[in-house]
């Protein structure tokens, strides 16, 4: 029997020690009419070989493209071989939350290093040990801004990832917060700042702007943040393509109060959406409003440097209904993987981000030469929107050549007929671009 | 040990970035500094290998951390979730291209349907607490949809995990605590008294955090249902009853499961986890909207559920965790599934019986998958639960969960799981007995424990008083 090591003899010895004749006797508290008789209606268990054959067969049913121009919140980047290798060490991946610091210094220090990486990338002061993902972390920040300001309304750009907006809606509805969308400018692709000004009032807790936004366009976070803060609201920047942090002016320098996003680009597979990790960083004054675990540096009883979970008075296991959040599990292992990725890229993260940006712009210009025009005028990072003659037909044609040509935006914006969101990462080479152009 | 930042050497590098295809850019502003470390690949490999050796997982040794179900994580599950077909599956691809992904989600749901007895379900939540939150949102939506606007109170036993009240608060519910009776069960008289037309539901952990199956479960659900309230089951402890009872048959209306507990996906030093919510027919309409359905031989997505609470997570949640759980389910099959709750319970009771002469057992009945002792005996020598836990570290065991549940003073909550052998438990029992003797003979030695770890007891108070949560060492 898989993974249950008891021999018949051992089971009998144990039953004897306990003083019962069969295992079922231990369930005397369960009402007898509830006890299941016999096996469940499930298939026979498979041995490891058959398990592998079966799951491999299912994996092969996915018809993933060889050349992938899909982004929209999950990005296909190269993962150096040692990144999953190190994060896959059993001491890391089979551990629990580091409640016992004396035997968990390795995880605690790794998370401490992760926290340092995130604050440096974002130019913020404080962060936590990771969140589930970008979308749920953003939704948690809705509650965080309401808690900080005592206000009950949240504004979010309509050019924020549509699935993120759905999650925000769900959380806001549960907490009885009002949520309103800020329109975007059809020419630039950026938030309509005049509309933002009109929508903000004395009940606005937080303003959520994604940059680079869902269309890949870089927002003027400096200007937006200053407008938002003038109204006493919290300026929140969402980042779904974390790689952009390597190149663009960091949120902290633009006056952003809270930055929240998805770290999947840092060494994690697309994997249908997860596991990646959510990150959340803020200014020092909001540190105690952060949800989730935080690792701090301290000393042991000999005065030696040591790490430990800290500021736990915010958390559910201490504060119960008064906690900043209910989050307990996070994505620690994914954060460690992100950390190892960032340690690998180091200062060259900027070069990789630049490569993404320049190659994306290069491909956009190539498309322009084929009379496929770009929709928005403002600068983009590594994604852009183009207008084509017949989006679904073109995407189908590309797919026949094993090219995932982009995301048909009509799914998310009914008014956007025949618009495709195209993402170019370092995984796209010239050959792929040529093949794309040739299939048009 | 130095941090990675202190090991940085200006000009060193672990990667080569290609040249761009063109030097053109439209961006007007860039970040000026990026204070990340510069290291070689070998520097990085040695640093994180060294850190991993300062960590402790199930692969290293016995990990009887109560309520966390630290069972063995089979390696085939890791192989499965790393299959390229899955890792390269993009969540915004067309469904016709991701039939494998959808099949895994669908089949996992079918398995969970059978073992829980529920008809409605979602795998969108990312972790246990996320599942709780999802379920509470559904409870709220259910009552509001019936124009039952008065139901703003959630009842929670005093033995519950902290996530329960925290999740309820995130939905704007008022939390009402239900005391446990002297045997550790829900106080039925108090429950009847507190349930009324303002009660949205009860959050009940089954078996409870004292490791007991509440024998009054049918009575509890009856009391709630008669007053129009719902029974929510916290399934963190499902491992105990897998193959024994189906939650839906106990009068439970909806529940969450942690895939990273019962279904053996690794905890990763805190995550990623996997969540699941199952519910009865009356609540199906409120489940998160994106559902995987079978259409002939194909799978597709259906999002047309106007009463749904909406999405709780973008894309397909922690899909890699779902693949691991499904792989585990494939290996278990019907026989393996039936044995999990039985052997988890056998192991816990074996430890209960073997240690009960040495440690105080507040509830002297058969336990389920975990057994809760406390430090009452050792306290007479001035030795606390903390001392016992720290001493266990010297013997290369992860200590049990300590000081939880809150209703047991000085609790030591031991959950061996079914994957541990008699031999492993015998060794652990011997060490626990030795510590019980040490408590009497040399209490100071226990106060000073651990003696063999890379650091001694860590000062948590100092860390919180003056928080240092990032390294301030520059890399250049």
pLDDT by residue, tens only, chain B of 476 residues: 999 999 999 999 999 999 999 999 999 999 999 999 999 999 999 999 999 999 999 999 999 999 999 999 999 999 999 999 999 999 999 999 999 999 999 999 999 999 999 999 999 999 999 999 999 999 999 999 999 999 999 999 999 999 999 999 999 999 999 999 998 899 999 999 999 999 999 999 999 999 999 999 999 999 999 999 999 999 999 999 999 999 999 999 999 999 999 999 999 999 999 999 999 999 999 999 899 999 999 999 999 999 999 999 999 999 999 999 999 999 999 999 999 999 999 999 999 999 999 999 999 999 999 999 999 999 999 999 999 999 999 999 999 999 999 999 999 999 999 999 999 999 999 999 999 999 999 999 999 999 999 999 999 999 999 999 999 988 86
Question: Is the torsion defined by CA of A367, A370, A375, A377 positive or negative?
Answer: positive
Tell me yes or no: is domain B342-462 CATH 2.102.10.10: no
For residue A315, the model assigns a pLDDT of 86
Give the whole-angstrom CA distance, residue B138 versus residue A420: 35
> Are B31 and A64 inside 8 Å of each other by CB?
no
Distance from CA of B417 to the nearest CA of A (A): 9
Distance from CA of B4 to the nearest CA of A (A): 7
> Are A34 and B249 inside 8 Å of each other by CB?
yes
> Are A40 and B76 inside 8 Å of each other by CB?
no
Neighbours of B281 (CB within 10 A): 11
Give the tokens for residue B281: 């027919």
**Which residues of chain B neighbour A175 with C-beta distances below 8 Å?**
170-172
For residue B476, the model assigns a pLDDT of 67
pLDDT band at residue A313 under the 50/70/90 scheme: confident
Of A327, A345, A363, the one marking the end of a domain is A345
> Are B20 and A355 inside 8 Å of each other by CB?
yes
Q: Does the residue A124 lie in any domain?
A: yes
> Are A329 and B267 inside 8 Å of each other by CB?
yes
> Are B37 and A346 inside 8 Å of each other by CB?
yes
Which among A51, A64, A125 has the least Cβ separation from residue B97? A64
> Are A271 and B393 inside 8 Å of each other by CB?
no
* A68 interfacial to chain B (CB closer than 8 Å): yes
Same structural domain, A417 and A293:
no
**Which residues of chain B neighbour A171 with C-beta distances below 8 Å?**
170, 312
CATH of the domain at A104: 3.40.640.10
**Which residues of chain B neighbour A430 with C-beta distances below 8 Å?**
21
Cβ partners under 8 Å of residue B437, min gap 6: none
Q: Does the residue A1 lie in any domain?
A: no
Give the tokens for residue B430: 């011997």
CATH of the domain at A355: 3.90.1150.10
Cα→Cα distances B162→A428, B176, B302, B374, B406, Å: 47, 13, 34, 20, 10
- pLDDT reading at A366 higher than 90: yes
DSSP conformation letters of B240-300: GTTTT--GGGGT--EEEEEHHHHT----TTT----EEEEE-GGGGGGS-S-EEEEETTEEE
* A45 interfacial to chain B (CB closer than 8 Å): yes
> Are B326 and A55 inside 8 Å of each other by CB?
yes
**Which residues of chain B neighbour A359 with C-beta distances below 8 Å?**
20-22
B429, containing H or E segment: helix B422-441
Domain count, chain A: 2
Short-list B279, B286, B288, CA closest to B317: B288
Domain boundaries, chain B: 76-331, 342-462
Distance from CA of B227 to the nearest CA of A (A): 23
Coil, strand or helix: which one is A238? strand
Which among B89, B343, B459 has the least Cβ separation from residue A6? B343
Environment class of B182 (CB within 10 Å of its CB; exposed 0-12, middle 13-18, buried 19+): exposed
Tell me if B158 sits within 8 A of B138, measured CB to CB: no
**Which residues of chain A neighbour B30 with C-beta distances below 8 Å?**
247-249, 350
Long-range contacts of B45-51 (CB under 8 A, 24+ apart): B45/A82, B45/A85, B45/A86, B47/A343, B47/B4, B47/B7, B48/A86, B48/A89, B48/A110, B48/A340, B49/A86, B49/A89, B50/A106, B50/B1, B51/A105, B51/A106, B51/A107, B51/A109, B51/A110, B51/B1
Cβ partners under 8 Å of residue B102, min gap 6: B95, B292, B299, B300, B301
For residue A401, the model assigns a pLDDT of 96
Same structural domain, A289 and A380:
no
> For residue B175, what are the β-bridge partners?
B154
> Are B128 and A26 inside 8 Å of each other by CB?
no
Same structural domain, A307 and A384:
no
- pLDDT reading at A117 higher than 90: yes
Of A301, A330, A345, the one marking the end of a domain is A345
Same structural domain, A163 and A220:
yes
Q: Within 13 Å of residue A421, how many CA atoms lie on the same side as its CB?
A: 28
Task: Return phi, psi of residue B183, to 5°.
Answer: -90, 0
Closest-approach residue (CA) in chain A for B271: A331
Same structural domain, A341 and A353:
no
Give the whole-angstrom CA distance, residue B200 versus residue B138: 11
**Which residues of chain A neighbour B96 with C-beta distances below 8 Å?**
63
Same structural domain, A139 and A187:
yes
Same structural domain, A289 and A177:
yes
Same structural domain, A127 and A269:
yes
Q: Within 13 Å of residue B84, how many CA atoms lie on the same side as its CB?
A: 4
For residue A317, the model assigns a pLDDT of 87
Tell me if B209 sits within 8 A of B67, measured CB to CB: yes
Exposure string for B142-164, b = 16+ CB within 10 A, e = fewer: bbeeeeeeebebbbbbebbbbbb
Which is it for strands B230-235 and B254-258: parallel, antiparallel or unpaired? parallel
Short-list A284, A282, A278, CA closest to A331: A278
Peptide bond into A234 cis (omega under 30): no
Interface test with A, best of B21, B137, B305 (most A CBs within 10 A): B21
Tell me if B320 sits within 8 A of B81, measured CB to CB: yes
Same structural domain, A93 and A231:
yes
What's B399's DSSP letter?
P
* A287 interfacial to chain B (CB closer than 8 Å): yes
Closest-approach residue (CA) in chain B for A267: B87
Q: How many residues does chain B have?
A: 476
Closest-approach residue (CA) in chain A for B19: A355
- pLDDT reading at A1 higher than 60: no
Q: Within 13 Å of residue A297, how many CA atoms lie on the same side as its CB?
A: 17
Q: Does the residue A279 lie in any domain?
A: yes
Interface test with A, best of B268, B274, B329, B452 (most A CBs within 10 A): B268
Q: Does the residue A174 lie in any domain?
A: yes
The gap from C-alpha A36 to its chain's centroid, in whole angstroms, comes to 41
Tell me if A154 sits within 8 A of A175, measured CB to CB: no
Give the tokens for residue A32: 């007898």
* A296 interfacial to chain B (CB closer than 8 Å): yes
Higher per-residue pLDDT: A256 or B475: A256
**Which residues of chain A neighbour B36 with C-beta distances below 8 Å?**
117, 120-121, 342-343, 345-347, 349
CA angle A85, A91, A92 (to 5 degrees): 65
Q: Does the residue A434 lie in any domain?
A: yes
Cα→Cα distances B92→A386, B97, B194, B310, Å: 17, 10, 47, 18
Q: Does the residue A10 lie in any domain?
A: no
Give the domain range for residue A354: 67-79+348-439
Give the tokens for residue B337: 């599934």
pLDDT in tens, A101-111: 999 999 999 99
**Which residues of chain B neighbour A344 with C-beta distances below 8 Å?**
14-15, 39, 41, 44
Q: What is the pTM of this model?
A: 0.98
Helices A134-149 + A162-174 axis angle, to 10:
40
Same structural domain, A226 and A305:
yes
Closest-approach residue (CA) in chain A for B270: A97
Which is it for strands A126-127 and A407-408: parallel, antiparallel or unpaired? unpaired
Same structural domain, A71 and A101:
no
For residue A316, the model assigns a pLDDT of 86
Q: Within 13 Å of residue B60, how many CA atoms lie on the same side as its CB?
A: 23
> Are B31 and A350 inside 8 Å of each other by CB?
yes
CB pairs under 8 A between A and B: 695
Q: What is the dihedral of CA A282, A288, A293, A294, to 10 degrees?
A: 70
Of A345, A373, A405, the one marking the end of a domain is A345
> Are B353 and A135 inside 8 Å of each other by CB?
no
Give the tokens for residue A295: 């690792």
Short-list B235, B291, B274, B263, CA closest to B117: B235
> For the structural domain made of B76-331, what CATH number should be given?
3.40.640.10
Give the whole-angstrom CA distance, residue B166 versus residue A312: 14
Looking at residues A268-295, what average pLDDT do you find? 97
> Are A64 and B272 inside 8 Å of each other by CB?
no
> For residue A279, what are the β-bridge partners?
A261
Environment class of A92 (CB within 10 Å of its CB; exposed 0-12, middle 13-18, buried 19+): buried
- pLDDT reading at A318 higher than 90: no
Coil, strand or helix: which one is A430? helix
């Amino acid at each position: 029997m898989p993974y249950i090591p008891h021999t018949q003899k051992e089971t009998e010895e144990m039953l004897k020690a306990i003083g019962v004749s069969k295992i079922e006797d231990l369930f005397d508290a369960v009402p007898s009419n509830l006890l299941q008789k016999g096996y469940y209606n499930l298939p026979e268990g498979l041995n490891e070989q058959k398990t592998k054959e079966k799951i491999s067969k299912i994996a092969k049913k996915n018809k993933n493209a060889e050349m992938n121009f899909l982004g929209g919140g999950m990005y296909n980047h190269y993962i150096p071989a040692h990144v999953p290798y190190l994060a896959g060490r059993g001491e890391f991946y089979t551990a629990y939350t580091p409640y016992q610091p004396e035997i968990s210094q390795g995880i605690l220090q790794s998370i401490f290093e992760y926290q340092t990486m995130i604050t440096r990338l974002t130019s913020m002061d404080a962060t936590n040990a990771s969140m589930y993902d970008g979308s749920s972390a953003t939704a948690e920040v809705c509650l965080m801004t309401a808690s900080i300001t005592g206000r009950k309304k949240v504004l979010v750009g309509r050019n924020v990832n549509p699935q993120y907006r759905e999650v925000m809606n769900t959380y806001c509805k549960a907490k009885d917060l009002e949520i309103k969308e800020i329109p975007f400018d059809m020419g630039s692709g950026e938030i309509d700042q005049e509309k933002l000004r009109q929508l903000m009032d004395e009940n606005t807790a937080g303003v959520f702007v994604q940059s680079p936004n869902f269309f890949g366009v870089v927002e003027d976070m400096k200007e937006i943040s200053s407008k938002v803060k003038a109204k006493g609201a919290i300026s929140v920047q969402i980042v779904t393509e974390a790689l952009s942090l390597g190149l663009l002016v960091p949120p902290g320098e633009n006056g952003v109060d809270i930055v929240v996003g998805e770290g999947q680009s840092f060494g994690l597979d697309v994997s249908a959406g997860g596991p990646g990790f959510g990150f959340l960083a803020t200014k020092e004054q909001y540190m105690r409003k952060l949800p989730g675990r935080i690792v701090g540096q301290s000393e042991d009883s000999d005065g030696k440097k040591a790490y430990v979970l800290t500021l736990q008075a915010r958390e559910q296991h201490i504060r119960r209904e008064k906690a900043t959040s209910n989050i307990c599990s996070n994505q620690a292992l994914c954060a460690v993987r992100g950390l190892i990725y960032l340690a690998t890229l180091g200062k060259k993260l900027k070069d990789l981000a630049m490569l993404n940006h320049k190659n994306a712009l290069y491909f956009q210009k190539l498309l322009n030469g084929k009379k496929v025009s770009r929709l928005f005028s403002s600068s983009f990072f590594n994604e852009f929107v183009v207008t084509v003659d017949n989006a679904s037909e073109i995407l189908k044609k590309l797919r026949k050549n094993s090219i995932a040509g982009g995301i048909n935006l009509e799914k998310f914006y009914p008014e956007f007929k025949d618009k495709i969101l195209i993402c170019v990462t370092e995984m796209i080479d010239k050959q792929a671009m040529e093949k794309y152009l040739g299939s048009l | 040990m130095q941090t990675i930042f202190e090991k940085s050497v200006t000009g060193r590098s672990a990667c080569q970035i290609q040249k761009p295809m063109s030097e053109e850019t439209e961006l007007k502003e860039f970040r000026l500094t990026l204070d990340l470390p510069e290291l070689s690949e070998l520097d990085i490999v040695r640093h994180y290998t060294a850190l991993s050796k300062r960590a402790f997982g199930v692969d290293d040794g016995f990990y009887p951390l109560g309520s966390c179900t630290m069972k063995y994580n089979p390696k085939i599950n890791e192989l499965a979730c790393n299959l390229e077909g899955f890792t390269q599956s993009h969540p915004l691809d067309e469904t016709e291209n991701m039939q494998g992904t959808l099949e895994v989600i669908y089949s996992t749901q079918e398995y969970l349907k059978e073992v829980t007895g529920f008809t409605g379900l979602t795998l969108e939540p990312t972790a246990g607490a996320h599942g709780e939150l999802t379920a509470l949102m559904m409870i709220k939506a259910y009552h509001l949809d019936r124009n039952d606007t008065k139901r703003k109170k959630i009842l929670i036993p005093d033995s519950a995990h902290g996530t329960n009240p925290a999740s309820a608060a995130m939905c704007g519910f008022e939390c009402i605590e239900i005391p446990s009776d002297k045997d550790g069960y829900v106080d039925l008289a108090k429950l009847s008294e507190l349930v009324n037309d303002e009660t949205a539901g009860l959050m009940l952990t089954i078996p409870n955090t004292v490791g007991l199956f509440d024998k009054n479960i049918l009575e509890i659900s009856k009391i709630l249902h008669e007053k129009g309230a719902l029974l929510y089951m916290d399934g963190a402890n499902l491992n105990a009853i897998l193959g024994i009872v189906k939650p839906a048959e106990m009068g439970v209306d909806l529940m969450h499961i942690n895939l990273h507990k019962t279904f053996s996906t690794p905890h990763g030093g805190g995550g990623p986890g996997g969540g699941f919510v199952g519910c009865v027919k009356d609540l199906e309409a409120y489940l998160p909207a994106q559902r995987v359905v079978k259409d002939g031989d194909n799978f597709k997505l259906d999002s047309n559920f106007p009463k749904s609470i909406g999405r709780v997570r973008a894309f397909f949640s922690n899909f890699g965790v779902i693949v691991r759980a499904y792989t585990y389910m494939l290996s278990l099959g019907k026989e393996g599934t039936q044995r999990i709750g039985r052997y988890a319970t056998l192991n816990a009771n074996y430890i209960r019986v073997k240690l009960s002469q040495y440690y105080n057992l507040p509830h002297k009945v058969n336990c389920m998958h975990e057994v809760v002792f406390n430090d009452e005996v050792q306290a007479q020598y001035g030795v606390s639960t903390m001392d016992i836990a720290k001493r266990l570290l010297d013997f290369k065991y992860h200590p049990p969960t300590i000081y939880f549940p809150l209703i047991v003073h000085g609790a030591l909550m031991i959950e061996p799981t079914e994957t541990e052998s008699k031999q492993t438990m015998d060794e652990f029992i011997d060490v626990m007995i030795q510590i019980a003797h040490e408590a009497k003979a040399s209490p100071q030695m226990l106060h000073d424990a651990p003696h063999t770890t890379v650091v001694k007891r860590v000062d948590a108070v100092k860390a919180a008083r003056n928080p240092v949560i990032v390294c301030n060492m520059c890399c250049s």
